[in-house]
Amino acid sequence: MTASVISAGPIPRSGSAAQGAIELRQVSKNYGDVIAVDQLDLTVRPGEFVTLLGPSGSGKTTTMMMVAGFEEHTAGSVLIDGTPVDSLPPRERNLGVVFQNYALFPHMSALENVEFALRMRKVPRAERRQRAADALDRVGLGKMGGRKPRQLSGGQQQRVALARALVFNPAALLLDEPMAALDKRLREQMQEEIKALQKSLGISVLFVTHDQDEAMAMSDRIVVMRDGKIIQSGPPEEVYNHPLTDWVASFLGDTNLIPCTIVERNGEEAVVDLGGLGLARVRDRGADGVNYAVSIRPEHLKFSTQAAAGNGCAATLLSSTNLGATVRHRLTAGGHELQLRELSSARGAGSGPDEDLWVGWDEDRAQLLVLES
């Protein structure tokens, strides 16, 4: 664990106790002919970290802007802690907001930038100085309050924006790709810090990213969006391991998609015919469609011996690529081309060219899904 720069000390509370439940009911946004957000139903529970994940143009920012009150929705209703806020201006919604372009005032110092949020809320001068200083302290910038944004690094500017969003004790935080401008290392550090801060404050967060690793690392729940709609929503492991469609499976990382026909469905399980790979028992989330496939992540395929192979069959190795920590093998089995990933340290079957090679998987790693494309 790296030491967290962001401390967990208390921020003085003002106003009523923060709850931070956010609810969107059938919210839509049209820009002329473009339906940016399409009848969205979404709930963020108090203290929950929910991430909107989706490709460019899927409506993530538009959704955030409507919750924040910077965009008016075409239909539906937004509620915060059970109260409709549709007619409230942004400042009265009690939400801390950090957008990708976090727009600090260049002529103000870091401290003044943070204080500004309180000035807008008419907090008395002496109190706001103290609270702004505390907020900067909390994000590890206690000694840099006097610097102008141009005298701060990208990561430090990002922290100022975060302090500014937190200083008035909002009920919830809206973070739209807040780390997009940071390099990978700093980004990972900030991910941990934001998560720690969120936990210590017990604040709810609606977060936007199109980086699936970031979504996996930070979220209690991932909401996958596409074309203004929610395609799937659930805890990260569930969405990753049990995607409902091939699009979700592929969007969240590499996977093997094996077309299949359904032989039998009973509740959470199905028996499918995988063609050359034979019959297999797989997980079933009940997704309905016309064409089906089974998704197995490359890291869930494994080399096995013929005797141990419950699900699986004989395979031929096509190539092996060392990626550092892992090795990616391409192979064919039962007429399907498959990818298998294992730790470089594993050096399992696959290592000798003349071996009898078998590939297998555990049945709870195979997910039946609908082929959209």
Ligand X SMILES: Nc1ncnc2c1ncn2[C@@H]1O[C@H](COP(=O)(O)OP(=O)(O)OP(=O)(O)O)[C@@H](O)[C@H]1O
Q: Which does 234 bind (CB under 5 to 8 A by kind): ligand X, Mg ion, none?
A: none
Total site size for ligand X, rule CB under 6 A? 12
With contact defined as beta carbons under 8 Å apart, do 212 and 253 qualify?
yes
CA distances to 181, 225, 332 from 369, rounded to whole Å, are 35, 17, 22
Residue 210 lies near ligand X (rule: CB under 6 A): yes
Among 13, 17, 56, 290, binds ligand X (CB under 6 A): 56
Strand order in the sheet with 83-84: 34-44, 22-31, 75-80, 83-84
Tokens of 145: 């309050």
| Smallest distance, Mg ion to C-beta of residue 373, A | 24
Return the range that interacts with ligand X (CB under 6 A); candidates 53-61, 74-82, 111-119, 240-248: 53-61
CA 256, CA 246: separation in Å to the nearest integer?
Answer: 10
Half-sphere exposure of 326 (CA within 13 A, CB side): 8
Residue 58 makes contact with Mg ion by CB under 5 A: no
Q: Kindly tell me which residue out of 19, 28, 61, 295 binds Mg ion, with binding defined by CB under 5 A.
A: 61
CB 280 within 8 A of CB 296: no
Closest to Mg ion by CB, 61 or 256? 61
Q: Is 63 in the site for Mg ion (CB under 5 A)?
A: no
What number of helices (H) and strands (E) belong to the chain?
Answer: 8, 20
Contact call for residue 51 and ligand X (CB under 6 A): no
Q: Total residues at the site for Mg ion (CB under 5 A)? A: 1
Cβ proximity of 317 and 329 under 8 Å: yes
**Window 59 to 118, contacts with ligand X (CB under 6 A):** 59-62
The verdict on 57 binding ligand X (CB under 6 A) reads yes
Which region, judged by CB under 6 A, interacts with ligand X, from 55-63, 76-84, 152-160, 213-221? 55-63
Neighbours of 85 (CB within 10 A): 20
What is the contact surface with Mg ion in residues (CB under 5 A)? 61
Task: State the residues that interact with ligand X by CB under 6 A.
Answer: 31, 34, 36, 54, 56-62, 210
